[in-house]
Amino acid sequence: MAEIILQQNTQNLIAEIKKQFDGKIKIQCGGEKVGFIRHQQVESRLEDGNFIINVTDITAPDYLISHELFHFFLQLNQAPELMLKMTTDDFDIDDKINATAIQLYDTILHATIFRLQEENGFIDDNVRSLFYQGVLATVTAEPKEGSGPDEWGMYRLITLLDALVFFQNEDAEQITEKFLEFYPISANAALKLLEILTANSLRAPFEARRAAVALFKAFDAQLEAWKLPKMYLNTFATLTPVFSERQLKLEVRQLFDIMHSEFKSNVNFASAYIGIQKNDKQNAFVITVPKNADSKEVIIHTYDMTVLELMNTIDMRFLIRPAE
């Protein structure tokens, strides 16, 4: 393990988060130094009540550590959560869908995280250069032949969308021109997704959820245009629901359609029933029917419950939309 001396702003951020978190924040660093930034160089987890950050590359440790700390900060401050509760029965397909959902949702959170990092002095010209070099080092140029994407098209699209979010404030025009030169197909598609993502301010929890719903739909539309299999993230991925106080008192049938799914719960592998929110058609909860129970009766009983009763019964976290 490499030993690093954290910048003062990193120490300040750790101290700020400790005001909201009782556990320890532990940082572990490897010794590799490749000379560019990718978010795959760091990972974090909660373990035994502590928050563990593992940095595998020390090219820009304070940037990477602060990035994970701000992810944790959003988690502590009621950011909507992405949950992956189902399986297709094919673990390879599950891995691909889950990884795509996580990367897209992280990009939505990054719109806030990059801003916070910049405001707190973690992003400067050197970090921007290292981030740009990381994109070029890990995303191969598109082939000159043909007008459609190759097998790396989806990876390029997700990576470039995240990079465009990173470079929104500084060097945006210059960086966009470079991406369009090296990756014309994927960059043009990423710019369309960026427009959808940034249509929301993303400063309130329900805005992050709204952006995710729209981005998942647009991403599937782009895959379909490229004649690639869709991910169906509006159905497969669960997003923390956001309600007004009034909506919590309504019957479930007034806000949700409960749909029997071809997917199964990845906990007990029983058939999954998905609560699709009527206003945005997004998966908001997943339930299963107990063995030997009558599925029709269970669903009717669920529809009869109030939204608050259901959320408490299935132990589903939800957020309250502030009164206007």
Check pLDDT > 80 for residue 152: yes
Residues 38, 127: contact at Cβ < 8 Å? no
Average pLDDT, the chain: 94
Q: Which residues pair with 319 in a beta bridge?
A: 242
The 10 Å Cβ neighbour count of residue 48 is 7
Distance CA 163, CA 176 (A): 9
Q: Is pLDDT at 324 greater than 70 in this prediction?
A: no
Q: Per 3-state DSSP, what percentage of the chain is helix, strand, and coil (rounded to 5)? A: 50, 20, 30
- Nearest Cα neighbor of 180 from 160, 196, 201, 166 is 160
Alpha-carbon span 78 to 298, nearest angstrom: 31
Q: What number is the average pLDDT over the span 70-94? A: 96
Per the listing, tokens 């497969």 go with: 236
Q: Tokens for 56? A: 């595998």
Using the predicted structure, report yes or no on whether residue 278 has a pLDDT greater than 70.
Answer: yes
Tell me the residue type at 303.
Y
E-strand stretches of the chain: 25-32, 42-47, 50-57, 82-83, 86-87, 238-239, 242-243, 256-265, 271-277, 283-288, 319-320
Number of H helices, E strands in the chain: 13, 11
The residue type of 175 is: I
| pLDDT level of residue 3 (50, 70, 90 thresholds) | confident
Rounded to two decimals, what is the model's pTM? 0.94
For 85, which DSSP code? -
Predicted pLDDT at 187: 96
Tens digits of residue pLDDT in 210-261? 999 999 999 999 999 999 999 999 999 999 999 999 999 999 999 999 999 9
Task: Determine the average pLDDT of the residues in 171-183.
Answer: 93
Output the pLDDT for position 244.
95
Tell me how far apart the alpha carbons of residues 249 and 309 are, in angstroms, rounded to a whole number. 9
In the chain, what percentage of residues exceed pLDDT 70? 98
Per-residue tokens: 122: 């973690």
Residue 184 pLDDT level (bands cut at 50, 70, 90) = very high
Q: Is residue 1 scored above 70 in pLDDT?
A: no
Of the candidates 299, 272, 281, 205, the residue with the CA atom closest to the CA atom of residue 244: 205
Nearest to 139 by CA among 122, 117, 162, 123: 162
Q: What is the pLDDT, as a whole number, of residue 30? A: 92
